Amino acid sequence: MTNANVVTANLDARATKSRQRQRIANRVLVYAVLVFFAILFLAPVYTMFLTALKTMPEIQQGNLFALPQNPSFQAFGHVWSEACISVRCTGLRGNVLNSFLMVIPAVLISVSLGALNGYVLTKWRFKYDNLIFGIILFGSFIPFQIVLIPMAFTLGKLHLAGSISGLVLVHVVYGLAFTTLFFRNYFVTVPDDIIKAAKVDGAGFWMTFYRILLPISWPIIMVAVIWQFTGIWNDFLFGVAFTGGENQPLTVALNNLVNTTTGTKAYNQDMAAAMIAAIPTLVVYVFAGKFFVRGLMAGSVKG
């Protein structure tokens, strides 16, 4: 090997090592930024949980990040079954049940209708189908506040005012625009030849929907379910506007509990109640969060 070849080999080796060091440095920088923001976002959750485990004398010392001296789940038990909310002293358990009675049927109905709308608007074309889709899509841009009076009037006419069933109807109507958009954009990526082949084999409208499209639509179904579940569970405005008394969902009861002015402010109970309200959405994202991005990306490219 000549001297020129040796020099070239040494230069190549140095360049390779330099690129490796640069990649490692970039990776360390990326992970450092991610860890920083993770700590930044998790700090409130950390302080909430610690505060819920502390007694009031410990909280009054003012150190939010200090570990509790005698950790206790007494605050959780109190707000679950004993806390007085709107002159009721049965805790949050009834409101948690109300939220589940609201969110489960609302999610199932809105996702089912959205899937059906997306199927019709992409695979069974008809006159003015794009106009109808545009009208449905317009619903996703309407602020909550604008529909309060029309919805209240409608629920009154249907004798559903102040009931959980009325709140389910409100969330189904409002969420239909989003679920239709999700499924329509996903079904556009499904080749029309599959639908034509199903028709040739004798499959009708419903069989094509249930046997062909739904089995391959689980990614976008998970997206719609997560979107609707978190949005409906965390909703406060519709809950406080369209329900009352024992039919109020958890978010409204949490607001009433936190804003209670009688007696000494129990911050540990407030934090415990907030943690209880956050658990369902945390569970949904922990177990199904990976499907959310996967489902969104599945409908982003056609072909």
- Count of structural domains, the chain: 2
Residue 12 confidence (pLDDT): 63
Answer yes or no: do 87 and 216 share one domain.
yes
CB neighbours of 8 closer than 8 A, spacing ≥ 6? none
Q: How far apart are CA 38 and CA 36, in angstroms?
A: 5
State which of 26, 42, 72 marks the end of a domain: 72
Residue 5 confidence (pLDDT): 60
Measured in degrees and rounded to the nearest 5, phi and psi for residue 249 equal -75, 180
Residue 303 confidence (pLDDT): 46
Answer yes or no: do 205 and 60 share one domain.
no
Residue 106 confidence (pLDDT): 96
State which of 48, 72, 96 marks the end of a domain: 72
Helix extents (H) in the chain: 3-53, 56-59, 74-81, 93-123, 129-138, 148-157, 164-187, 192-200, 205-207, 218-233, 237-242, 250-258, 267-298
Residue with tokens 């695979």: 123
The answer to whether residue 50 sits within a structural domain is yes
Dihedral-angle region of residue 124 (phi above 0 means left; psi in -120 to 50 means alpha; beta otherwise): beta
The answer to whether residue 132 sits within a structural domain is yes
Domain extent at residue 28: 3-72
Residue 166 confidence (pLDDT): 93
- CA 186 to chain centroid, in Å, comes to 19
The answer to whether residue 303 sits within a structural domain is no
Mean pLDDT for back-to-back runs of 10 residues, the chain (303 residues): 58 72 88 93 89 87 81 87 70 90 95 93 83 85 86 90 92 92 89 84 85 87 92 92 88 84 76 91 82 65 50
- Residue 185, judged by CB atoms within 10 A of its CB (0-12, 13-18, 19+), counts as middle
Alpha carbon dihedral 111, 112, 115, 120, in 10-degree steps, equals -140
Answer yes or no: do 163 and 244 share one domain.
yes
Answer yes or no: do 28 and 81 share one domain.
no
